[in-house]
Homo-oligomer: A and B are copies of this chain.
Amino acid sequence: MRTKLLSMLVLMAALVVSGPAFAEKLQDDANQLFKPIPYAPPALKDNPMTLDKVELGKMLFFEPRLSKSSLLSCNTCHNLSFGGDDYQETSIGHGWQKGPRNAPTVLNSVFNLAQFWDGRAADLKEQAKGPVQASVEMNSTPDRVVVVLKSMPEYTALFKKAFPGDKDPISFDNMAKAIEAFEATLLTPDSRFDLYLKGDMNALSKDEKKGLELFINKGCADCHAGVNMGGEDYYTFGVVERPDAKIVSGDKGRFAVTNTAADEYVFKSPSLRNIEYTAPYFHSGKVWGLQEAVAVMSSAQLGISLTDSDTKFITAFLKTLTGVQPKVAYPVLPPSTDATPQPEWK
């Protein structure tokens, strides 16, 4: 009797231990591949961060007068109210023109190896100059931007504070540097997945853990790893099987940057952080449902056909990547003056 009781106790103890032991194995595996989003941004290349610069950058991020129409700001397509993008197939810009690619989220973008889907901008300050000038986006020019900013005495004072060493602080380059400094602060820590990585075994449900396991074992993590779960390298869209032409949308990706045949249809793998917010998906924005996006990826990139239940588990896991969204005090911008250029809509 005693022996029986003892062996039962040993069995029960083993069961109690095996739960956590299993969870810890998955958590160990996950920690080999992924890192939680940190609370503070990394240092920026050639752009030391100061509070003055970040605050100015925030104003510029929300400044519609950087666009020719005075209607569009960085926040129009990278809306901080919902995941740092715009819930559009591809962005709508000046004159209601439709841009060529889906707007990537600005959140955590400082961790990407380069910016834009094709990586043509080395960093956020280079990226920030693109949409301001693109004719289908904000459609302005560096000269116009400088005239706009210099027309408001408050900006003169703020640029002087943010760039204390500069003789002529208001410049297109400094605009971009200030925007980069602000954007680098747009981090979303403490998603449920990050809490799990950091040791809270109950942060994920059983189904979500099953999804994480599949995400690792089926190969998703091969392209979506690191702190941003993506954004670390370039890959062919359709490594195994080219997706539907509607989704590929004729876009040859990084080929346009490198002019190398091997880069045809190659894109930077996007971050999966806050993916619940960033529909529609892919560079073309042609897929609206997250489950469908997971299915497309599994056949195109991995050459496998996931069961419906596995797709659901992975989707459930992906929804645990929504972090705490940045808390932003909406900036008050300076009033225009008689010297401020008027909007142009044509």
Contact = CB atoms under 8 A, between A and B. Distances in A.
Interface in A317-346: 322, 325, 327-336, 338, 342-343, 345
A92 interface: yes
Given A76-B71, A92-B69, A95-B96, A336 B87 contact: yes
A333 B82 contact: yes
Interface residues of A, number: 43
B82 A335 contact: yes
Nearest to A275: B335
A118 interface: no
Given A71-B76, A79-B64, A95-B96, A88 B343 contact: yes
A7 interface: no
B62 A81 contact: yes
A275 to B, nearest CB: 9
Nearest to A324: B332
A65 B87 CA distance: 9
A79 B288 CA distance: 29
B81 A345 contact: no
B277 A345 contact: no
A92 B71 contact: yes
Nearest to A73: B81
B335 A322 contact: yes
B325 A328 contact: no
A322 B81 CA distance: 28
A292 to B, nearest CB: 9
Interface of A: 62-65, 69-71, 76, 79-83, 86-89, 92, 95-96, 98, 276-277, 279-280, 288-289, 322, 325, 327-336, 338, 342-343, 345
| Closest A-B pairs by Cβ, 9 of them | A96-B96, A328-B330, A325-B332, A81-B333, A330-B330, A276-B335, A277-B335, A82-B333, A70-B87
